[in-house]
Amino acid sequence: MDLRNTTVAHSDEEMMHYRVDLIRPMEDNLELAMPHLQIDDTLHLDENELGEFDRLVRELVSKLYKYVFDISQTHPELVEKYVTPAASASNGG
């Protein structure tokens, strides 16, 4: 749950790589410094955390499937449908 609460569900600054460089574009004006930000908010999980994350995803998919299964038994009209993504419909695809 700690993995979900911090690293997965929210951007956790302790798990994030970020870098700021200052670029001075004009040699004659050293006072002008432009910040160049690089942020990598990708999950970097060690082997143990990866196993925990895999178990979390499997549990969520299993519970979601059970939820949809239960609804299918009582209200099949709510479940049986096909939805076209809005982006596909707008560009003719």
For 90, the 3-state DSSP assignment is helix
Q: Is residue 31 part of a domain?
A: yes
Specify the number of domains making up the chain: 2
Position 34 scores a pLDDT of 86
SS3 28: coil
Residue 66 to residues 19, 28, 63, 81, Cα–Cα distance (Å): 43, 67, 5, 18
In a domain, 84, yes or no: no
In a domain? residue 88: no
**Claim to verify: residue 27 and residue 38 sit in the same structural domain:** yes
Give residue 34's domain range.
Answer: 12-42
Tokens 């870098």, residue? 19
Residue 83 covered by a domain: no
Residues 60 and 71 in one domain: yes
**Residue pLDDT, tens place only, 27-73:** 888 788 888 887 766 666 778 888 888 888 899 999 989 998 898 88
Cβ 23 vs Cβ 33: under 8 Å: yes
Q: Give the per-residue pLDDT at 49.
A: 81
- Asked if pLDDT for residue 3 goes beyond 70, the answer is no
The model carries a pTM of 0.44
